Every structure is written in C-alpha cells, then in structure tokens.
Amino acid sequence: MEQTWIILGASSTMARALMQKLAEAGAGLVLAGRRMDDLQASASDALARGAALAEPVAFDARDPDSFQPVIDRALDQPGQINCAVFVGSMPPQAEIDADPGLLDGVIADSFTGPARFLQMLAPHLEARGSGTVVGVGSVAGDRGRIGNYVYGGAKGGFATYLSGLRNRLGRSGVHVLTVKPGPVDTAMTQGMEGLPFPTTAEAVAEDILAGVGRGRDVLYTRRIWWPIMLVIRAIPEHLFKKMSI
Amino acid sequence: MQGARRITYSGWGRVHRATGPVARPHAADAIDGTAPAFGNRRSYGDAPLNDGGGACDMTAQNRILAFDPRAGVLTAEAGVTLGTLARVLPARGWLPPVLPGTGFATLGGAVAMDVHGKNHHAAGSFCQHVTALTLVQNGQRRPVTPETDPALWAATCGGLGQTGVITQVTLQLAACPGDVMVVTERRVADWAEHIARLDASDAAYCVGWIDATASGAALGRGILEEAEVGRGLPPARPAPRRVPLDAPHWALSAPIVRAFNSLYYHRVPATGRTTVRPFDGFFFPLDRIHDWNKLYGRRGFHQFQCVVPPEQAEALRAMLAEIADSGLASPLAVLKRMGPGRAGYLSFPMGGYTLAVDFPNRAAARALIARLEDLTVAAGGRIYLAKDALATGDRVKAMYPDHPRWLSRVAAADPDGALETDMVRRLDLRRT
Ligand SMILES: Cc1cc2nc3c(=O)[nH]c(=O)nc-3n(C[C@H](O)[C@H](O)[C@H](O)COP(=O)(O)OP(=O)(O)OC[C@H]3O[C@@H](n4cnc5c(N)ncnc54)[C@H](O)[C@@H]3O)c2cc1C
Ligand SMILES: NC(=O)c1ccc[n+]([C@@H]2O[C@H](COP(=O)([O-])OP(=O)(O)OC[C@H]3O[C@@H](n4cnc5c(N)ncnc54)[C@H](OP(=O)(O)O)[C@@H]3O)[C@@H](O)[C@H]2O)c1
C-alpha cells in the first residue's frame, strides 16, 4: 500500500536518518518544520533516493495555526498515513532556572505542540483504519533528574500522552510506537563530552523501522537503556532526591 | 571548530593514530574551513589525521541536493558515500562513473584522492567526471569548476584536502543500462598470461586478483575478473557481518594465507565461469564484512600500491617476486591495467599497471615496502597516497613531478597551513 509519512521536526538529525530510509523504500514524505531551506534540501535528497513525494510544509510547534495545513497536505495522498514526531528542544536546565519564562516553550516543543497536532490528526487516522504514529520521547522522561527536569517533564508528559493515544487508536488499527533514545550524536548533543552509551541517528532510525515492523509499543535505543531505566525507575524517591545522576 | 569532541582516531590501516578535537557538523554553515576534513577514513595511512590539532568529520553532511534524472547530473554534500549512490541510482538508470573498492568512501574523500575504479583504463579517474565543487577556505564559500580556476581545480583533485574543505560535489553520472553485474572469472596461470589477458580485455570493468604467495613458475597466477552491467534479477546479498575483536597476530600468517589463496584460486573452475552479482557485491566485496581491518590485530596493517608505466611490466614482476619470496603478503593482492586518466597535480593514476598488496604491520614488511618504493621510483612509477603510511617526502616528491605546481596553488589557498594533516607533515609536502 502507498505510505505517506508526516515528519514533525523534519530538520532534526534523527528525522533525516529516518527519512533517508523511508525515501529509499519509496514512501511519500511531508516534511514539517521551521527552517524551510533545510527542509527543501532534505526534500531534494528524499526525491533523489526514491521518495514518491517529498514536500516541505511550514510547521511551528508553538503556533497551532500552522498545524492544519500539514495535515491537509498528507490527507491529499491516498493510502496509509503515518506520523513521526521528532520536534523537541533541550535548553540547559540552568538557563531555564535563570529564566522561568523559557519553560512554556520547552513544554510546547516537546509535548503540548506535538500532542495537540496528533489530537487533530487522530480522527483522520481512525477514519482510514490504519497507520503508525512514532513519538520520540527520551530516557530523560522516565525520571525527573536535577540536570534536566523541565525537558524530562515534557518528555514524560509526552510519553504518558502517547500511551493513552495508543490505547485509543489501537482500537481502529492504528499503531503507536514510543521511542526513548539515550544520548544520540545529533545537532542537539553537538560537542557534549562523556555521554554514556551513545548511538547514532542511523542506528536509531533502524531501530524505529524495526519497531514499526514488529508492532512494538515502547522501544529504548540503545537497548541497554531499558535495564538501566528499569533500575533508575526503581530507586525509591527518598534516595533518588539526594542523587545527581 | 565549534562543537568538537576530543577523540583518538586512525586510518583504515590503524598504524598511525591521532588525538584532537573533532567536530561532526550537522549544519553545512557550521563548516568554516579552519581545520582539515575527513570522510570515512578509508585511506590506510595518515592522510585523514591531524594529531594535536582539530579536524572536521564530514560524514553527517550526507544529502543529495539535486539530481537531474534526464541528464544524469547530481550535486551532493561531500559526506554522501559512493555506496549510497551505487545503491539508489541504478533504479533510476545511472551509476557513479568511478567506484573504488569500498562503498564507504565519501564524495569528499573520492575527490581529495582522485580515486580510480575497476574501469580506469576506459573511464579515467573520479575527478574527470566532477564538473563543479564548493570549497570552504577560511570561512569563505567558494564555487570552483575546471574552467573558472584550472590551477585551483588541479590542486584540489587528488590534492589531499589542502585547498579547502570540500562541501559540495557535482558529478556527471554514467548511464546504467541494467540491474546487475555480469561477471566472468578465469584462472590465469602465471604473470605473462595475467598481463596478456589484462591487455586483451575489452570489458568495461576488469581486475586481476593475484595469489601473492605463489612463486616460481606460478608467480603471478590468479583470477581475472571482467564485468559489464547487464539486465536481470539481482541475487539477494547476505546481511553484513562484523569482525568483533582484534584477531590474534597469527590469523593471517603465511600458512593460513597460502591455504586460503589456494582455495580461492581453485574456487573458480579451470574452464572459468560467468555469474551475476548485485552492484555492491561486485564493486565493494569487502564491505560485507564490517571492520575487517581488525583481522590484522592491534598492530594494524599496510597496503602497498604502486603504478608503473606499461613498458615497465617487468619491473612490476620483479616486485611481485620479492613479495612472494618474503612470505609476508596477505590474500589481498590486486593487479589492474590503468589508463592515462587523471585530473590533478597529485593524482595517482598514470597509464600502465597498478599492483596493490596488503601486509601486516611488522618490521620485515616495512622494510620490504621501502624496497618496493625504491623499485617504483626506478621504474618511473609512483605510489598511491591513499594507501601510504610509510614513505618519505623525498621519494614521494620524486614520483610526483607536478608537486611544485600543487604547492604554489595550495600556498595561496591555505597560506597559514590550517589544513595540514599528519601525512602532509610526514611527507613535508607543504615545502619544496
Ligand atoms: C577496502 C578498500 C578498497 C579501496 N579501493 C580503492 C580503489 O579501488 N581505488 C581507489 O582509488 N581507492 C581505493 N581505496 C581508497 C579509498 O577510496 C580512498 O582512501 C578514499 O579517499 C577514502 O574516502 P574517505 O571518504 O574515507 O576519505 P578519508 O580517508 O577520510 O580522507 C581521504 C583524504 O581526503 C581528505 N578529505 C576527505 N573528505 C574531505 C572533504 N570533504 N574536504 C576536503 N578534504 C577531504 C582527507 O583530508 C584525506 O586527505 C580503498 C580503500 C579501502 C579501505
Ligand atoms: N540527541 C539526543 O541525545 C536525544 C536523546 C533523547 C531524545 N531526543 C529527542 O529526539 C528528537 C530529535 O532530536 P535530535 O537529537 O535529532 O536533535 P535536533 O536535530 O536538534 O532536532 C530537534 C528538532 O526539533 C525542532 N524543533 C524544536 N522546536 C521546534 C518548534 N517550536 N517548531 C518546530 N520544530 C521545532 C528543531 O527544528 P529547527 O531545526 O527549526 O530548530 C529540530 O528539527 C527530539 O525530540 C529530542 O528531544 C534526543
């Protein structure tokens, strides 16, 4: 069947890796994001690799008025519609501590913006009776840590939202995959030293496609993060509050 | 450069190492041309290294920016690999005009080494098919074509990245009238037959594998492989495998290599055979085993590759005899005919024959390679800098008569030496 993927945050490094693989498999792509010149370059790349369609559309997670045109562009296409969410922002916690006004933006980028978008898309997926939603959360969303608890809070909220969305859409044959990456070498982590168990955007994209293929619900990438987060989640709060991991 | 991480890295041969801040920019405008660039470090020696200084890893620059399926012209970022292009283009009727033996080579690395393929005798070198480049020189973006600045062009093609960081490459592709490679393999009994068959071949792609352990009357025996693009169903290719650990030092010892080579030789029936292979299986046979360089263990390995003029085939035979007698060679030994095609002052190719042989990194092998370099100079040939980790500046300058012209253009392009690499310093290339 024909497949069209809406890519929210198509200028993300991880999104690029996934789009390249989808394009080589002949899928159609709607590239949603803020930096139109970058989206245009990725659209050319996708077409050269064999994408059936590759169209940039302006999208800003903080501007809900930009959402409907993205959805409309995908609805123009026959066949199955899928959506992969890569938007997110992670300013240093210290900056947010110094300027609490930054908090709303972080939540909008990583949680409420994409959640509202998916809320608008959901009825259309239900109507078509098939499709996949891939939501990129983070291991940071599994526990509130001193180093980035606002970002973590947004990602945790998004993961909870996706869990509910899965419960709803599963009844109509639409699958929801939550992806929780550990550190990935991308624009977001540029120059950060000493990240534990790092991986690449290409490896994450491969894991996502494998997870979609197998109908997985929640996927940690690299896989080592699953047992690590199992342990971290199990630490009692009265101990965890004194730790700085 | 911004966003750099301090790492230790090496070339494919893993003999030289470098440590320093390496940036891997995701945004093209973050590339400022203040540090040397590298691709996938498939060069064997120290060409992609800058010990103690910074470097720019180009592999995140991996987008095809424009593709005209009618004219077969493609513009891409410099970190796009030739393997990617060989994978996605045939379905659209095109193929990169020149492919080296690894699909991991990036466009930037292919330009900076002016690489050659199994079709060099007919198609020439990689840069002869490149029609435009974008260089970044000290923060300045600069489009270049062979017409706008012929000297800068010739200093850039095969120029070891010393004229600027290459960010974009425009390539004229070759028409690809099929879906598979039709490959004919024949046993060749000895050196004379090997050379005669290479000379007689009119196949688009032609390469000889040599059993570098065979000596005496069998010296130069091997398998000649000739191939054309054809129509058909590509056979499935097995999933890639990985060498997980450094192998022990005896893994490629003389008895094992002799046994392996004999099996490999006899695998092809005495009457020869024709088979069909997928493009990547034909062009990049070794890429199927990831990290195969670990087979040589922690000490790493060398490849000696030289080219000599056609009338010096006898000198090449003498070199092969020394290699066979040394008992040091690995299974990887390749003999090719080369045409005259080359695009830059420091481009490797010249009309004649090229021989490439891998050796484990041991004192006896290093001494043998030094001797082979002397024989190469004496034969009026040259060694390939993409493979070199051992040569001296004097020898290399003697082999590359256009070095002074390269030097004067490089001095203008990078006056402060910001793009110098370990190889450039080892070979003292930035001085006469
Ligand atoms: C198994 C194997 C088979 C091979 N077969 C062949 C063959 O058949 N024919 C052949 O010609 N070669 C062959 N090679 C060599 C290989 O093609 C070259 O070394 C090539 O340059 C590797 O590309 P790379 O992207 O890894 O470049 P690197 O090794 O990372 O870099 C090579 C040089 O290019 C410079 N450079 C890289 N990118 C840029 C950039 N963007 N801007 C400026 N400078 C840059 C580096 O500074 C360095 O000097 C083979 C290598 C292997 C491992
Ligand atoms: N890298 C990691 O280690 C890591 C680990 C776990 C989870 N993640 C998550 O993985 C996802 C992809 O990130 P990445 O690592 O690939 O980094 P990235 O390249 O920085 O991607 C982040 C993307 O979010 C987009 N974005 C941010 N705010 C936006 C807004 N208001 N409207 C529209 N787009 C917006 C950015 O667009 P612009 O280009 O316009 O800025 C960019 O495309 C993110 O959700 C991130 O939180 C990353």
* Contacting residues of A for B81, CB less than 8 Å apart: none
Nearest Cα to Cα of residue B209 among B29, B386, B77, B330 = B330
Reported confidence tier of residue A62, pLDDT bands at 50, 70, 90: very high
> CA A155, A156, A161 angle in degrees (round to 5)?
95
Q: B259: which residues sit within 8 A by CB, 6+ positions away?
A: none
Q: B258: which residues sit within 8 A by CB, 6+ positions away?
A: B213
Mean pLDDT of A76-100: 97
Reduced to 3 states, what is the DSSP secondary structure of residue B248? coil
In a domain, A245, yes or no: no
Nearest Cα to Cα of residue B37 among B1, B6, B7 = B1
Cβ pairs bridging A and B (under 8 Å): 48
Residue B255's pLDDT is 86
Reduced to 3 states, what is the DSSP secondary structure of residue B170? strand
Residue A181's pLDDT is 98
Nearest Cα to Cα of residue B125 among B253, B312, B307 = B307
pTM, two decimals, is 0.96
Nearest Cα to Cα of residue B92 among B210, B178, B29 = B178
What's the gap in Å between A90 CA and the centre of ligand 2? 8
Interface check for B3 against chain A (CB to CB < 8 A): the answer is yes
Report the C-alpha gap between B13 and B260 in whole angstroms. Answer: 21
**SS3 assignment for B42-89:** CCCCCCCCCCCCCEEECCCCCCEEEEECCCCEEEEECCCEHHHHHHHC
Q: Do A50 and B74 touch (CB under 8 A)?
A: no
Indicate whether residue A178 lines ligand 2 (CB < 6 A). no
Reported confidence tier of residue A237, pLDDT bands at 50, 70, 90: very high
Q: Which atom of ligand 2 is nearest to the CA of A183?
A: 3
Omega of the bond leading into B366 within 30 degrees of 0 (cis): no
A48 vs B6, B24, B67: nearest CB = B67
Task: Say how many domains are in chain A.
Answer: 1
| Ranges under pLDDT 70 in chain B | none
Report the C-alpha gap between B63 and B52 in whole angstroms. Answer: 30
* Phi–psi pair at A44, nearest 5 degrees: -60, -45
What's the gap in Å between A114 CA and the centre of ligand 2? 12
Q: Do B64 and A48 touch (CB under 8 A)?
A: yes
| HSE-CB of A5 using CA atoms within 13 angstroms | 32
| Sign for the pseudo-dihedral over CA of B223, B226, B230, B234 | positive
Q: Which residue type is seen at B372?
A: L
What's the gap in Å between A118 CA and the centre of ligand 1? 45
Which structure tokens are listed for B313? 């085939």
| Sign for the pseudo-dihedral over CA of A206, A212, A213, A217 | positive
Which structure tokens are listed for A169? 């859409």
CATH number of the domain encompassing residue A73: 3.40.50.720
> CA B362, B365, B369 angle in degrees (round to 5)?
140
Cβ neighbourhood burial of B249 (10 Å; 0-12, 13-18, 19+): middle
Per-residue pLDDT tens digits for A148-194: 999 999 999 999 999 999 999 999 999 999 999 999 999 999 888 88
Q: Which atom of ligand 2 is nearest to the CA of A11?
A: 43
Is B363:B15 a contact under the CB 8 Å cutoff? no
- Residue B190 DSSP label: S
Pocket test for ligand 1, best of B9, B10, B40, B42 (most atoms within 8 A of CB): B42
In a domain, A172, yes or no: yes
Report the C-alpha gap between B395 and B316 in whole angstroms. Answer: 18
Largest CA distance in chain B: 60
Write out the residue range of the structural domain in which residue A205 sits. 3-240
Report the C-alpha gap between B382 and B87 in whole angstroms. Answer: 33
Nearest Cα to Cα of residue B129 among B341, B275, B416 = B341
Residue B191's pLDDT is 97
Residue B254's pLDDT is 85
In a domain, A167, yes or no: yes
Say if strands B64-68 and A218-221 run parallel, antiparallel, or are unpaired.
unpaired
Task: Determine the angle formed by the axes of helices B313-326 and B191-200, rounding to 10 degrees.
Answer: 140
CA A87 vs CA A41, B27, B221, B242: distances in Å: 18, 17, 59, 34
A190 vs B26, B65, B66: nearest CB = B26
Give the distance from residue B73's alpha carbon to the nearest chain A alpha carbon, in angstroms.
11
Put simply, the chain B residues between 41 and 80 with a CB less than 8 A from any chain A CB are 60, 62-67, 74
Say if strands A184-185 and A175-181 run parallel, antiparallel, or are unpaired.
unpaired
Report the C-alpha gap between A45 and A36 in whole angstroms. Answer: 14
> CA B124, B154, B94 angle in degrees (round to 5)?
40
> CA A38, A213, B83 angle in degrees (round to 5)?
50
Pocket test for ligand 2, best of A20, A87, A151 (most atoms within 8 A of CB): A87
Long-range contacts of the stretch B287-292 (C-beta < 8 A, 24+): B287/B83, B287/B102, B287/B103, B287/B104, B287/B240, B288/B237, B288/B238, B288/B240, B288/B241, B289/B240, B289/B241, B289/B242, B289/B243, B290/B240, B290/B241, B290/B242, B290/B243, B291/B242, B291/B243, B291/B244, B292/B243
Does 3.40.720.10 match the CATH number of domain B180-233+242-396? no
Nearest CA in chain B to A19: B63
Cβ neighbourhood burial of A102 (10 Å; 0-12, 13-18, 19+): middle
C-alpha torsion angle, residues A119, A124, A127, A133 (rounded to 10): -70
